A and B are shown apart, each in its own frame.
Chain A
Amino acid sequence: RKEVEQDPGPFNVPEGATVAFNCTYSNSASQSFFWYRQDCRKEPKLLMSVYSSGNEDGRFTAQLNRASQYISLLIRDSKLSDSATYLCVVINDYKLSFGAGTTVTVRA
């Protein structure tokens, strides 16, 4: 079983819609979690950290469910510019493990 698994998608949504997707991780002792965003053929960039109590950053909401070992990302009021691949990152013993990514395409 992979350390970090994501639904690859793609999630095709119209502008203004809400889209949400999850990422599961296998190590229950994982310490920290992030969402990165990667545009086509570009480098990954940090989108947001994921805190135990859940956190928001504008239209983006990240949540952590330790009991079921998954994190989620919700995007409200989708914009065309949100089209990207979203990478889930889990930290164990200071090492980052990346999911393969969930692709989101927002259409006009």
Chain B
Amino acid sequence: DAEITQSPRHKITETGRQVTLACHQTWNHNNMFWYRQDLGHGLRLIHYSYGVHDTNKGEVSDGYSVSRSNTEDLPLTLESAASSQTSVYFCASSENVGQEQFFGPGTRLTVL
């Protein structure tokens, strides 16, 4: 069965370190998204991609970057982790833009 996976599921890191969160989907979807979810907020879009080599900034992109070298993967990099980036991160993919998105299980990141 097609699926979307994230790794690691939990990560503790220190302020200033570079961190990369992996997202891998086997749906063969062109569209992939990264969100963060914090208490009291809805999911907020960090970055998204509509295909290989395409990346776009979302509403909370500062301090994050992504790259899309193939259809299956969209890794999210925190260049220099900050305590404000402690959050739960969800990756998602969709077949068509603006339609149902399928989410990965999430990565819980703690920055100390």
Name A residues whose Cβ lies closer than 8 Å to a Cβ of B.
4, 8, 31-32, 34, 41-46, 49, 87, 91, 94-101
Contact = CB atoms under 8 A, between A and B. Distances in A.
Nearest to A49: B100
B42 A32 contact: no
Contact of A44 (B45, B97, B99, B103): B103
Contacts, number: 41
Given A43-B105, A43-B106, A44-B90, A97 B100 contact: no
Interface of B: 35, 40-45, 90, 97-101, 103-106
Nearest to B96: A94
Nearest to A6: B42
A44 B43 contact: yes
Nearest to B104: A43
Contacts of B106: 41-43
- Specify the main secondary structure of chain A where it touches its partner: strand
Given A87-B42, A100-B42, A95 B98 contact: yes
Given A32-B98, A34-B100, A94-B97, A42 B42 contact: no
B89 to A, nearest CB: 11
Q: Which 10 A-B pairs have the closest CB atoms?
A: A98-B42, A94-B98, A43-B103, A98-B43, A94-B97, A100-B42, A46-B100, A91-B98, A99-B42, A44-B103
Contacts of B90: 43-44
A34 B101 CA distance: 11
Contacts of A41: 106
Contacts of B43: 44, 87, 98
A45 B103 CA distance: 7
Contacts of A4: 42
A87 B41 CA distance: 11
A84 B19 CA distance: 31
Contact of A42 (B41, B99, B105): B105
Contacts of A94: 97-98
